[in-house]
Structure 1
Amino acid sequence: MRIRVDGIVQGVGFRPFVFGLAQSLSLAGSIVNDLRGVAIEVEGIVSHIAEFRARVVSEAPPLASIQNVISESIPIANRSVFEILASHADGERDVLVSPDIATCADCLREIFDPMDRRYRYPFTNCTNCGPRFTVVRGVPYDRSLTTMAEFPLCADCAREYHDPSNRRFHAEPLCCPACGPSVRLLDRNGIAQADDPIRKAAELLSSGKVVAVKGLGGYHLAALASNENAVKLLRSRKHREDKPFAVMAPNLESARALATIDALEERALTSPRRPVVLLNRRPDSDLAHSVAPSNRFIGVMLPYTPLHHLLCESVKAPIVFTSGNVSDEPIAYTDDDAAKRLSPIADYFLIHNRQIHIRTDDSVVRVSRGREVPQRRSRGYAPQPVELPLKARRPILACGAELKNTFCVAKRQHAFVSHHIGDLENFETLRSFREGIDHFRRLFDVNPAIVAFDLHPEYLSTKYALDLKGVEFVGVQHHHAHIAACLADNGDQGPSIGVAFDGLGFGLDGTIWGGEFLIADLAKFERVGHLEAVPMPGGTAAIKQPWRMAGSYLRKAYSESENVPAHLEVAERNAHQWPQISALMKSRVNSPLTSSAGRLFDAVAAILSVRDAINYEGQAAIELEQLAAVGEDDAYEVAVPAAIPFELHGAALVRGVVDDLRAGSSVDVVAARFHNSIALMIVNACDTIRTARGLAQVALSGGVFQNQLLLERTVRLLEQAGFRVLTHRQVPTNDAGISFGQVAVAAARDCAARCQGGGLVQWEPF
């Protein structure tokens, strides 16, 4: 029998597993890596072959991800042994590449065993763990096509590498102290500091120094998480005023001292992917205030490389581990770049000489409604594909959005969503975006025939797309991409009611959308409702200064004769600019209209004195959510029209907030009632659409639904009202999921074009 196995089956111990299984069943034949996966040939007793075929799937190594198995009978070749053959590199590449995997228990035991030859060696790995995606230059996954090619194996490692019974058989990053990479500790002038770099780095961290640490997918900046002065110093140097830092805890027990952790959160923390997990912070933890100011959540991760384990074991305390960059830039991943960009921030550098081929930031997840939900999908997840609910007829590249950018390439059923790129607002991030696309195209052998992009003409991702030659273009409206991503993430093609709430997206009418009710399938959509548009006084300044949106909504909510806004604290705090903003709105100069739900949250946050200006995206809304009183169920009345299309009056909600506040209600109660009102408004609006069109499924997407209070209350109310509710599962609900939605839309339109015998359409309403 010839058996083809496609999926993530290279670099995960699949060949030695198959070798051992064949030997145990007295089967002869061979297995080989090729550009699609693995090809197996076996001959022997028929019942043994049948058992082999079944167990190849049922007992596959834990890191394997089998996508497809095809078997056929072939003539007997009278072979006497089972062999592992040299890899084939002919034909079209269609192999899947494993994400990077956290250190396994076996390797961890060796690292801390004084009698083992890999004792305290920070690059210990095997077929069950270690670097994958970050070191791969090409496929098939062989050492010669990784950044480990420059480290020839010593005799001992070579014996392990060539022994099919050894767990390091063909572990491509295999090495030891005699033949592998090494670690050095440098000061910011590049001068070596110690014979035991890791222990010395631990001492420096414990004394309050900031250390840049070269990890798996790039550099981190580290500081002792309990040292307020050290964390404040890191914030100041990194120019990151308020956004929370992630913390690496030495072990699970230490993590429990920082936050409450349930069973699902523990599973996420300890999984081989090792993401940062957003947890409820313990008020009695010894974390410095500056780690996560004004935030009741804390991002916690456990060590995921031997170097991290050794560093944490020496420090014996939680360490701030934040991306090695200045705010808004991509993480540094080459030594020269790190020395240039991080020297003003770090006092010392803990580096190594294993090259990182592709920079990959940490992933961030949270547990919501009984499952792990990605907030940022990167290390440990990328480039594992997300399955499309329909096959892409031709190869597709989707360029994503401007903020939280990812790109996506698609080939047949597989959509390869990239690692986190970041905000495309500077040259460094744009270069990372371009380099990432080139790498994915080579790695997965994708030569796109179709390129999908956001309709915003000023997005750098859109400009990149439109500069490409010899391709067909598909422009995808931002909020349609959100809903398509949610549908495809659930294996659904629609049609569905779609609720897309976010900060901004370019609308078809030239205004800025963001509080949208759609009827959508993967190919097309219709805007059937939205929040009423209000001016953004000062344009983009209103995004960074929520008090401006408070002024806009208050002007909408109250007549001039009522004169309520002038007596509110938000107006008094900003009295020197308040008349100017009013004049801007009246003249409509530099005051684009927006239906954005994100801007409505900003307005209420400013009215409740949560925040007048933000230091990172979504800060006002995040702090408003955390302010909300637990257990409060009341809501304000918001009229929802009984027919479509409709407009919902956010100003009525603002009036409810102000009237409640003036009546003496506490700000935490008002914040909770506002959230309840938004959830109730969504449900009533969806009920109007159901009555009009007969649809009973709702897809929720957009960055506003990262708000767990809003999401959970909205889902509960929708389900109580008889709706089937779809939320994101594998790709983030924020703009990091846009590229996946663009791919789904482009694939669906291409399939529709083939069926109809016409060309691709840019967009089409129901």
Structure 2
Amino acid sequence: MPHLVVERGPHPGGRLSPGRRLWITGHVQGVGFRPFLYRLADQHGLTGWARNTVGEVEVLVCGQPAAVDDFTRDVISAAPAIAAPRLRRVEDWQGPPPQRFEILASEAGATPRIFVPPDYFTCNDCLRELADPADRRYRYPFINCTQCGPRYTLIEALPYDRANTSMAGFALCLACRREYTDPADRRFHAEPIACPDCGPKLHWTAMDGGAPQDGAAALDACIAALKAGRLVAVKGVGGYHLVCDAADTAAIARLRRLKPRPTKPLAVMAPLAGEDGLAAVRRIARPTEDEARLLLSPQRPIVLLGKRAGALPDALAPGLAELGVMLPYSPLHALLLDALDRPLVATSANISGEPVLTAGEEVEDRLAHLAEGCLHHDRPIVRPADDPVWRRTAGRVRPLRTGRGGAPVELTLTTPVARPVLATGAHMKNTIALAWGDRCVVSPHIGDMGAERSMEVFEQVGTDLQALYGVRAEALVCDAHPAYATTRWARRAGLPVSSVLHHHAHAAALAAEMATDDPVLIFAWDGVGYGGNGELWGGEAFLGRPGAWRRVASFRPFHLPGGERAGREPWRSAAALCWESGRDWPECPDRDGLARGAWERRLNTPATSAVGRLFDAAAALSGVCLHADYEGEGPMRLEAAANEVLAADGAPTRGAALPLAPDTDGVLRADWAPLVEPLLDASCSVGERAAGFHESLARTAVAIATTLGREQALSMVGATGGVLQNRRLADRMQALFGAAGIELALPERLPANDACISFGQVVEQAAADAQRG
């Protein structure tokens, strides 16, 4: 940044002047913070200076004591909306009074405090200019200012200067240069600043061989294709979307057939409309007050909302009562939605399970069978960032997926790490965490690690995090499962490696959010994860604290015919429960008896205690889902069925806690056997059976806590794992624990699913290292 000054006359009070120095840390880069300080000092009649060190801002202000006090207060209270400043240190100062307020050139600091800004939505000021025919950026798809625009996905290195971003190749025109260097302008050092004369441009490719188009003509061609019912790949901020008219059943069917994605829910982007921007959203869904706030927040995430019956085709989310909805967060999205004035399907352009695609060549090559047109642009995406997803459970909106606009997520460690560490996370819903000192940053959602491209992005993100924050990992921590791709990568990486049990990481991540030194009881309920005894865990309760967990409760294990295949074939879990409890299941798809035979001989039939597999079994036994198109389909459909049956107080009409008994190791085991007969009871509706199943599990959790509480006082109880994304279960557990006088903690900063595993690995390893001394 150039040396900039605001001239003032001689300062009253002689040669020495009282003043104050402030060191401001937090999210103060890439948010227009130094221009804000410049204008704030001018407003309060102060002299002094501001400069960037590495990752924070140092400020000196001199003037009337009351004005200095007001400035210190306003640094936090009046900061830009997308900033998150913290006063790390404040000192009184006395010396020769400066004659002016200056913005000094950046200076390297001894201890970097780097904060990487996330990508921001398009602010209202830019949207007004975008729609103003008299403005020079009218309908320009890359409009931005210091309060909006891409950050994380275009930063190549820090400090956050244009030369260190993917905008470095776009030389500023004279008009943009004037704005960029004027401290009174809201584009003062807006690093992605651009206009139609000097910035990125659109390019349209018709996959049927039609004439390519550039600039405004490319945008018009895309709009025409969408109006004609075409499937289009559109390059956004953190990757490409596959887009089509959300009301066009033929286009939706074609998208599902070709992706292929037969039943997995599709997200919808609705136009900004009405006084509060949500009029179009309310025509298709029923957002609560907190869901509405989240939709409009700077993150602009996908939020799961209750559907309005008949507003859009059921094919968008078949068998479910909710629809994922978001608002346009980039100027390009805003232009498309304004022109079409209707909701659009906006799902990630990727091969199922892989990270979102970011390069036009890859999109045209790998999705040529699907996209009928591609709207590209020439601003490179440095790293992918998929859309974040949130859902309201247990009275609050909570994250299901971290991503664009909200990541990297930074968390403070109660127990610092002994040395910089990179945690490689889980196999599904992978994220990476980098930790040093008391800081931990968690990457955006990467994806499932079963594909070559997933591992490529995994390695890129791990390298990027270290480069961006100026921290080189000296050790790795991974999942204990020896077959995970991330575990194998860690073992090959050449650094010291520690492993953490999957469910210990789940428990540690939540315990870190609970922020207590007292022992806690945490339920870790999910699909399957590697357990300490060779079992596949997933229905565990742990007592203790990070680094010192004791497994105190679990579910009766059962053997899964087909092993990992059970995750996509719920009938296998259902068959296992029936076979182990000696019950007949006439609808079992194992017509040739091969699965039964293998199960009897214990061939590829690992034992598991996973509650996620119990949900799969319940979905199959009740007739909701025998084969799943996507992970969690059976449980999601089961929840939707359960929500159709509610008593006046919100509780179901049946469902009791499961029997509990200690095993030979003293672990309290919940016996699932009483669930089977009610799930097969055809005299009850599917909804009644589903509701009873949810109620039984919620009451079982309370029974476990109550039983354990007779032997040891429980100060706090928490619940986490992918199963706790189920709103019906989480709501009932919260209500039942509350009725028992126990507060139940659920994850709030990170998802309950495996996206939290990398953070939990860091917390667990830091605690273990500290205990070893």
TM-score, scaled to structure 2: 0.93
CA–CA separation in structure 1 for the residues paired with 2:67 and 2:73: 10
CA–CA separation in structure 1 for the residues paired with 2:45 and 2:715: 56
Letter of the 2:446 counterpart: I
8 A Cα contact 2:590 2:596, kept in partner: no
Corresponding residue for 2:616?
Answer: 602
3-state SS of 2:575 partner: helix
Q: Give how far 1:324 is off.
A: 0.8
Corresponding residue for 1:511?
Answer: 535
Corresponding residue for 1:646?
Answer: 668
Q: Give how far 1:68 is off.
A: 4.0
Corresponding residue for 2:284?
Answer: 258
Deviation sequence 1:198-250 (CA, Å, 0-9, x none): 22211111111011000000101001111111111111121111100100001
The match for 1:633 among 616, 637, 653 is 653
CA–CA separation in structure 1 for the residues paired with 2:480 and 2:365: 36
CA–CA separation in structure 2 for the residues paired with 1:370 and 1:19: 42
Q: Give how far 1:90 is off.
A: 5.8
8 A Cα contact 1:376 1:736, kept in partner: yes
Letter of the 2:236 counterpart: G
3-state SS of 1:693 partner: coil
- Does residue 431 (structure 1) correspond to residue 456 (structure 2)? The answer is yes
Pairing 1:579-598 to 2, within 5 Å after superposition: 579-598=593-612
Deviation sequence 1:742-766 (CA, Å, 0-9, x none): 1111222222233xxxxxxxxxxxx
Go from structure 1 to structure 2 and tell me whether the alpha carbon gap of 1:627 and 1:191 turns closer, same or farther (over 3 Å shift). Answer: same
Corresponding residue for 1:206?
Answer: 227
8 A Cα contact 2:56 2:114, kept in partner: yes
The match for 1:79 among 67, 79, 98 is 98
Corresponding residue for 1:759?
Answer: none
Worse-superposed segment, 477-486 or 186-195: 186-195
- Does residue 20 (structure 1) correspond to residue 45 (structure 2)? The answer is no
8 A Cα contact 1:696 1:724, kept in partner: no
Q: Give how far 1:135 is off.
A: 0.7
Go from structure 1 to structure 2 and tell me whether the alpha carbon gap of 1:483 and 1:637 turns closer, same or farther (over 3 Å shift). Answer: closer
Corresponding residue for 1:576?
Answer: 591
8 A Cα contact 2:422 2:475, kept in partner: yes
8 A Cα contact 1:98 1:384, kept in partner: no
CA–CA separation in structure 1 for the residues paired with 2:181 and 2:476: 43
Deviation sequence 1:510-532 (CA, Å, 0-9, x none): 11011111113112211111111
The match for 1:288 among 304, 308, 313 is 313
The match for 2:425 among 379, 384, 400 is 400
8 A Cα contact 2:388 2:404, kept in partner: yes
CA–CA separation in structure 2 for the residues paired with 1:144 and 1:88: 17
3-state SS of 1:149 partner: coil
Go from structure 1 to structure 2 and tell me whether the alpha carbon gap of 1:424 and 1:575 turns closer, same or farther (over 3 Å shift). Answer: closer
Q: Give how far 1:79 is off.
A: 2.1
Deviation sequence 1:240-293 (CA, Å, 0-9, x none): 1110010000122111111111111110111111000000111120x2332111
Pairing 1:45-64 to 2, within 5 Å after superposition: 45-64=64-83
CA–CA separation in structure 2 for the residues paired with 1:367 and 1:656: 29
CA–CA separation in structure 2 for the residues paired with 1:510 and 1:455: 11
Pairing 1:12-161 to 2, within 5 Å after superposition: 12-89=31-108, 91-161=110-180
Corresponding residue for 1:488?
Answer: 512
Deviation sequence 1:470-516 (CA, Å, 0-9, x none): 43x32111111111111112333552111111000001111101111
- Does residue 688 (structure 1) correspond to residue 707 (structure 2)? The answer is yes
Pairing 1:62-461 to 2, within 5 Å after superposition: 62-89=81-108, 91-188=110-207, 191-193=211-213, 196-251=217-272, 252-285=278-311, 287-461=312-486
Corresponding residue for 1:500?
Answer: 524
Q: Give how far 1:91 is off.
A: 4.9
8 A Cα contact 2:510 2:718, kept in partner: yes
Q: How much identity, in percent, do the aligned residues show?
A: 39
CA–CA separation in structure 2 for the residues paired with 1:576 and 1:372: 44
Deviation sequence 1:141-177 (CA, Å, 0-9, x none): 1111111111111111111111111111111111111
Taking only aligned residues, the RMSD between alpha carbons, in angstroms, comes to 1.7
3-state SS of 2:751 partner: coil
Go from structure 1 to structure 2 and tell me whether the alpha carbon gap of 1:588 and 1:731 turns closer, same or farther (over 3 Å shift). Answer: same
Q: Give how far 1:127 is off.
A: 0.7
8 A Cα contact 1:487 1:726, kept in partner: no
CA–CA separation in structure 1 for the residues paired with 2:556 and 2:395: 34
Worse-superposed segment, 633-642 or 345-354: 633-642
Letter of the 2:44 counterpart: L
Letter of the 2:241 counterpart: H
Go from structure 1 to structure 2 and tell me whether the alpha carbon gap of 1:148 and 1:27 turns closer, same or farther (over 3 Å shift). Answer: same
8 A Cα contact 1:690 1:696, kept in partner: no
CA–CA separation in structure 2 for the residues paired with 1:369 and 1:470: 41
Q: Give how far 1:585 is off.
A: 1.9
Go from structure 1 to structure 2 and tell me whether the alpha carbon gap of 1:424 and 1:190 turns closer, same or farther (over 3 Å shift). Answer: farther
- Does residue 546 (structure 1) correspond to residue 570 (structure 2)? The answer is yes
CA–CA separation in structure 1 for the residues paired with 2:482 and 2:662: 35
CA–CA separation in structure 1 for the residues paired with 2:111 and 2:201: 36
3-state SS of 1:394 partner: coil
Deviation sequence 1:91-133 (CA, Å, 0-9, x none): 5542101111111110000000111111111111111111111
CA–CA separation in structure 1 for the residues paired with 2:64 and 2:769: 47
CA–CA separation in structure 2 for the residues paired with 1:96 and 1:328: 29
Letter of the 1:626 counterpart: A
Corresponding residue for 1:758?
Answer: none
Unaligned segments of structure 2, at least 5 residues: 1-19, 273-277
3-state SS of 2:563 partner: coil
Q: Give how far 1:431 is off.
A: 0.4
Q: Give how far 1:394 is off.
A: 2.5
CA–CA separation in structure 1 for the residues paired with 2:590 and 2:446: 40
8 A Cα contact 1:97 1:384, kept in partner: no
Worse-superposed segment, 148-157 or 391-400: 391-400
CA–CA separation in structure 1 for the residues paired with 2:493 and 2:731: 42
Q: Give how far 1:134 is off.
A: 0.7
CA–CA separation in structure 1 for the residues paired with 2:499 and 2:506: 14
CA–CA separation in structure 2 for the residues paired with 1:184 and 1:483: 48
Letter of the 1:479 counterpart: H
Corresponding residue for 1:763?
Answer: none
Q: Give how far 1:459 is off.
A: 0.5
Worse-superposed segment, 53-62 or 724-733: 53-62
CA–CA separation in structure 1 for the residues paired with 2:399 and 2:518: 23
